[in-house]
Amino acid sequence: MRIIVTGGAGYVGSIVTAKLVEQGARVVVYDNLQFGHREAVHPDALFVEGDLANTEKLETLFALHGFDAVMHFAANTLPGESMEKPFLYLRDNVTNALNLLQSAARYGARKIVLSSTANLFDRPEKIPISEDEKIAPGSPYGESKHLIERMLHWMDRTMGMRYACLRYFNAAGAMPGGDRGEDHKPEYHLIPIVMQVALGQRSHVEVFGADYPTPDGTCVRDYIHVLDLAQAHILALEALDSRSRVYNLGNGRGFSVLQVIETAREVTGHPIPALIGPRRPGDPAVLIASSDRIRRELGWKPRYPGLRDIIETAWSWHRTHPHGYETSQPGRDQRSAGRPTQRAANMRFPSWMTIAETAAKQGRDDRTGVGFGNQG
């Protein structure tokens, strides 16, 4: 199967790409490196640096490779930032997804897996959150994912494009071998921040509120190991022959902020100072997603459900990559599409590429007139 993975140089996308390659898929990663890292891409996947806003380049890729399926991870993904910059999310996330869907429809890619979000549920009535919960996005980010889900619904109705939407809260952990892990700059996620304190890169962890109606007073959140998340994406793709699907993903139970910190102290052997601060506006006490449907329908079962499993793999990654991947990311307001990264003569192409594909990648595609000489 030929698959394009958008955002495949990012945290979750790169690990899904690695697992797809291991299963024999022919993968093209399309990423503008705004948040991703070239080093995170599996060497047997073809990497193309580009932006989903560049419709000409996108069309060329679909025409050249004849993709069977799409895995869509590329997006702006910070709920808090989306409250400050709503148009960045409502414009870029939605418009870029539409560009992707148009190319997929035009060139016959009839399967798409969307990395969605449990931020679709701002104030759920029931915990754990099931797929039947009323959708009420908690931010412009959540709204952008909801709009993409609705677009996919109509692509199915009108064109027979099968889709799977996977909604989850907090991906965490790293590949056990330490090859790939979480590296954001700046970092906003709890477990990597705790790891940075253990490494001496931060003085302490700030805990936002300790007076919630939870056992220890701190917020409870759902964490899912990134490898379990990757398995869910691949199972969902394999199930699209029959019908479209929507799944919420979680590990079945939540962990409090203090539980995360205490487990990290045990795993790392470092004291990890924590200071209690005021609540953040809008933080619910408990958010946990139910995964009953995907367990029942696809047989998905987390291999790393325990908090210690998650933190041990995260610590292994951060200890061996204290400053993340070798390259640094561009600033958040920079776009890297079109920036030269490596000369064509020095490129390494996957063994599955045909001679025609390799020639087009090194120079230009004669069918479209679009050059690829500045791709890494």
Q: Cite the active site residues.
A: 141
72 sits in which H/E element: strand 69-72
SS3 letters across 137-161: CCCHHHHHHHHHHHHHHHHHHHHCC
DSSP state, residue 1: -
Rg (C-alpha) for the chain, rounded Å, is 20
- Is residue 220 classed as helix, strand or coil in its secondary structure? strand
Nearest to 110 by CA among 246, 233, 3: 3
Is the CB of residue 295 less than 8 Å from the CB of residue 224?
Answer: no
Cα(236)–Cα(91) distance, integer angstroms:
27
DSSP state, residue 129: B
Is the CB of residue 219 less than 8 Å from the CB of residue 256?
Answer: yes
DSSP state, residue 327: S
The dihedral formed by the CA atoms of 245, 249, 252 and 253, expressed in degrees to the nearest 10: -150
Task: Please tell me the total number of residues recorded for the chain in this structure.
Answer: 376
Nearest to 39 by CA among 316, 336, 329, 352: 329
Expressed in angstroms, the distance from the first to the final Cα of the chain is: 23
11 sits in which H/E element: helix 11-22
Nearest to 30 by CA among 68, 75, 92, 90: 75
Is the CB of residue 77 less than 8 Å from the CB of residue 139?
Answer: no
Taking CA atoms, 338 is separated from 6, 51, 322, 363, in Å, by 16, 8, 29, 15
Cα(115)–Cα(12) distance, integer angstroms:
9
- Is residue 374 classed as helix, strand or coil in its secondary structure? coil
- Is residue 111 classed as helix, strand or coil in its secondary structure? strand
